Amino acid sequence: MSELAAATSPPRDLHPGAAAAGDVTAPEWDWDAATRSRLERFLAERGLCDGPVSTRRIGDGHSNLTYLVSHGARQLVIRRPPPPPVPPGGHDVLREARLVAALRDSPVPVPAVLATARAGEVLDVPFYAMSFTGGPVVTTSTPTPLDTPATRREIGEALIDTLAELHAVDWRARHLDDLGRPEGFNARHVRRLGRLVADAHGALPPEFTVAEAWLRDHAPAESGASIVHNDYRIGNVIIEPGPPGRVAAVLDWELATIGDPLFDVGYFLASVPEPGEPLTPTQLLGTAQLEGGYPSRAELGARYAERTGRDLGGPSLSRLTWYTTLALWKLAALYEYSRRRAGTGSGDPYYTDPALVRSFLDAAHRTAGLPPLQQARPGSKEAQ
């Protein structure tokens, strides 16, 4: 999706389709005897199984639905959209499969796309099958035997190195020219995000205005154009199960586009918690990074600059301030969007808590060096 659809379905680079970005909870769906039988036939015709399969839901269910499919000792993964209603252009699994397949022989570790199915071919929605990658997804703690300071540092460095590798991929040579519009990516982000939370007259909620003005006034020209994952964080990668700490696969490419690579860096750094700071909801998904050994935000940014040769503003990495602030403000807008949906009964009740929105806004103000917000929270009478 590339354009805002009637202000109800944000475009692909804004759509809150990933768990950290605040989508609604997916309606319940699971395989029954008939759909499982059709799946078995589909996989058998492609040499991916030769008998009955079992299916098990994996993942958090806030985005595309993911299932582990097993046939004896063989395992693969199926990705399909959630049941309707689906925003126009959202949850495009075949687009996701195309991107993952294009990256398969690149330095970026991704699963192999094994097969795709159009809507009506097996299910009433499209889906794709990909290889299963074993290993942990690190969230609130680092599992054994990766839980040593040296290996934790390796994991952190591998995360930023993988992001640098992604941004070096020649997306034109891989025929991904139509994946997004990199020109004007930064200013467009700010404008579109504002539309998500603006009223009928285009006015933003008061608590959003100061950071929005700062972002508009300081918006840099794009640093370049690359594939942008758009939700890159520790919880969206699989780590090799044993030392050294390496990335086995990058997951959840639903929001990927072509844009400014530094947005990915700012978003990633915004997801990294630091000791002594209040935690945003995204950082709560990666509190393992508070354990000894993981690199700090400054160290991660400096390593990215070293690996890519990009000018990030010297030792202070001042150029990343805008991108990190944008990422936090973006998440505030997406959570506010989802909070309003939840208030109408059409979204996940989790997002009804206005403190989630306020958490991102407070972090955006701290990052940009802006004055603290007043105590009124989004959704409160004072903030209306």
188: enclosing H helix or E strand: helix 185-197
- Per-residue pLDDT of the chain (384 residues), as tens digits, is 222 222 223 333 443 333 333 343 445 789 999 999 999 999 999 999 988 999 999 876 457 899 999 998 899 999 999 876 565 555 789 999 999 999 999 999 999 999 999 999 999 999 999 999 999 999 999 999 999 999 999 999 999 999 999 999 999 999 999 999 999 999 999 999 999 999 999 999 999 999 999 999 999 999 999 999 999 999 999 999 999 999 999 999 999 999 999 999 999 999 999 999 999 999 999 999 999 999 999 999 999 999 999 888 877 778 899 999 999 999 999 999 999 988 888 777 889 999 999 999 999 999 999 999 986 555 554 444
Secondary structure in 3-state letters for 215-274? HHHHCCCCCCCEEECCCCCHHHEEECCCCCCCEEEECCCCCCEEECHHHHHHHHHHCCCC
Reported pTM: 0.88
Whether omega for the bond prior to residue 145 falls within 30 degrees of 0, making it cis, is yes
Domain range annotation of the chain: 19-131, 149-383
Q: CATH classification of 19-131 is 3.30.200.20, yes or no?
A: yes
Q: Give the three-state DSSP class for 82.
A: coil
Tell which residue, 113, 236, 215, has the closest CA to residue 166: 236
Cα–Cα distances (Å) from 55 to 28, 72, 118, 207, 249, in that order, read: 15, 12, 20, 45, 21
Tell which residue, 142, 136, 137, 135, has the closest CA to residue 288: 142
**CATH class entry, domain 149-383:** alpha beta
Cα 267 to Cα 334: distance, rounded to the nearest angstrom? 14
